[in-house]
Amino acid sequence: MKNKRSITSATIAAVILMMASIAWAVPGVIVEYHETDLGGSWQYNYTIYNTSTEGEGLHEVYLYFTHDAALTGISLPAGWDGLPWTGSYTISYLNSYSTDFAYDLLSGEAQGGFSFDVDYRAGDISYVAYFFGDKQISGTTSACTPVSLYRDFDLDGYGNPGAQYQDCIASEGYVTDNTDCDDTDPVINPGTLWHPDSDEDGYGSTAVYLQQCAEPAGYILDNSDCDDTDPAINPDTLWYQDNDGDGYGTYILSLQQCSQPGGPPGYVLNKLDFDDNSSSIGPPTRINGGTPSYYMSLQEAYNLAADGDTIQCVNVTFAENLTINAAKSVTLEGGYNGAYSTITGVTSLQGDINITDGTVNIRYFELLQ
């Protein structure tokens, strides 16, 4: 007996539109059962899976026995009805249908709880399933062999070993795999490639990797480091144009990339060139020592100088104010050539010198107003 649910005119219009939109959809269903020998009779518990491709609602199923069967203990899930599904009967088929659209089985959904006891071992029997839009499909039921299914919350194809249930067919969001160590992140699973970050700059090697789920010590997900031996070289590196080829770059022109840009002009990692059009002038000042350190401003050199240090300067003009405010004694020595090998003139300061603490000895300098 087909379902006789009441349908309003608005619903009918929606039905017609939906039927047109899914005209080429393919209905599909799997009907599986658990079978239990009760000693003289057999208990069957059916689960119906809607495997349609376009979301058609399944609302009615017929089960056909091979001959008249005496049934008892029959029941249906909530929202489903049928004849005969109460009391005990001798009958050749069972019909069940949802009592409202809300109980239809949509594509990817499953419904269990269709059960009865029968006086013989029915086994695999025929069925006919009806879908929205008068579509139907027939087939044969099959025995269910439950397997362990695991939640795949992040939908990466790998399941959470701590979220398991038993069923014959995986419902949406469950898989048979149970090897995901982080089911909240689709990037993390047994297929994840981890790359060593040997220089600890936050970027991993492009050439080396380990494939595993858990993060190995010293490895990260990134693989964009073109030189994993140098923390200064990575995709965030700024390369500064060295137009005059003296090994010092200008702060005005830079490129951000991992590998050193080709030239000409060349590019370097520093931005210490006071005049990038003259190869004889590079960094304008330095703190002299066993390994000199170079700077672009007098103030920066002074701030980093230690007591007793000499700050050497090229014979160029610094346009800045200089504040002497630390309890230390330093020497400002100007007039050097670009190689800091000899004094060839004087260094100019176009600005003020303000002294509030400490002492400063100044040689080969002139103050410009």
Dig out the tokens for 346 from the structure. 């004087």
| Sequential pLDDT tens for the chain (369 residues) | 444 333 333 333 333 333 344 444 578 999 999 999 999 999 999 999 999 887 789 999 999 999 899 988 888 999 999 876 666 778 898 899 999 999 999 998 889 999 999 999 999 999 999 998 889 999 999 998 888 999 999 999 999 999 998 887 777 899 999 999 999 999 999 999 999 999 999 999 998 999 999 999 999 999 999 999 999 999 999 999 999 999 999 999 999 999 999 988 999 999 999 999 999 999 999 999 889 999 999 999 999 999 999 999 999 999 999 999 999 999 999 999 999 999 999 999 999 999 999 999 999 999 997
Distance CA 191, CA 222 (A): 15
Task: Answer left, alpha or beta for residue 11, where phi above 0 means left and psi between -120 and 50 means alpha.
Answer: alpha
Task: Note whether 308 and 330 are within 8 A (CB).
Answer: yes
What are the residue boundaries of the structural domains of the chain, listed by start? 9-143, 192-229, 237-281, 285-368
Distance CA 218, CA 197 (A): 6
Task: Give the closest residue to 166 by CA, choosing from 142, 143, 147.
Answer: 147
Give the other-Cβ count within 10 Å of 216's Cβ: 11
Task: Give the closest residue to 29 by CA, choosing from 100, 114, 155.
Answer: 114
CATH architecture assignment, domain 9-143: Sandwich (2.60)
pLDDT value at residue 2:
41
pTM summary value: 0.63
**Cα end-to-end span (Å), the chain:** 106
What pLDDT, in 10s, does the model give residues 202-212? 999 998 999 99
Cα-based torsion angle of the residue sequence 212, 218, 221, 225 in order, rounded to the nearest 10 degrees: -130
Distance CA 268, CA 237 (A): 10
3-state secondary structure of 102: helix
pLDDT value at residue 87:
67
pLDDT value at residue 56:
83
Give the other-Cβ count within 10 Å of 151's Cβ: 18
- The Cβ-side half-sphere exposure at 77, using a 13 Å CA radius, reads 17
Task: Note whether 296 and 329 are within 8 A (CB).
Answer: no
Task: Note whether 129 and 31 are within 8 A (CB).
Answer: yes
Give the other-Cβ count within 10 Å of 269's Cβ: 15
Distance CA 104, CA 187 (A): 35
Distance CA 46, CA 64 (A): 13
What pLDDT, in 10s, does the model give residues 110-121? 899 999 999 999
Distance CA 111, CA 104 (A): 10
Distance CA 307, CA 315 (A): 24
261: preceding bond cis by omega (within 30 degrees): no
